[in-house]
Amino acid sequence: MKILVTGAAGKLGSNIVENLVKKVPASDIIAGVRDPQSEKAMAYEAQGIEVRLTDFEKKETLVEAFKGVDRVFVVSTVPVMETAIQQQKNAVEAAKEAGVSQLVYSSAPRADVSDFVLAAPHRERENIIKESGIPYVFVRNNWYVENELVLFNNA
Each residue's pLDDT tens digit, 76-125: 887 667 888 899 999 999 999 999 999 999 988 888 998 888 788 889 99
Q: Domain with 112 in it: what CATH number? A: 3.40.50.720
pLDDT of residue 83: 87
Task: Give every CB contact of residue 56 below 8 A, 6+ residues apart in sequence.
Answer: 6, 62, 77, 87, 90, 91
pLDDT of residue 141: 76
Compute the chain's Rg from CA coordinates: 16
Boundaries of domain holding 131: 3-153
CA distance 123 to 113: 8
> Between residues 148 and 5, which one has the greater pLDDT?
5
pLDDT of residue 29: 98
**Which helix H or strand E contains 29, and what residues bound it?**
strand 29-33
Q: How many domains does the chain have?
A: 1
pLDDT of residue 149: 63
What are the distances in angstroms from CA 138 to CA 39, 48, 62, 68, 135? 30, 28, 20, 22, 10
Work out the average pLDDT over 60-77: 96
Task: Give every CB contact of residue 5 below 8 A, 6+ residues apart in sequence.
Answer: 13, 16, 17, 20, 29, 30, 31, 32, 72, 73, 75
pLDDT of residue 2: 98
Per-residue pLDDT band for 58 (boundaries 50, 70, 90) equals very high
- pLDDT reading at 146 higher than 80: no
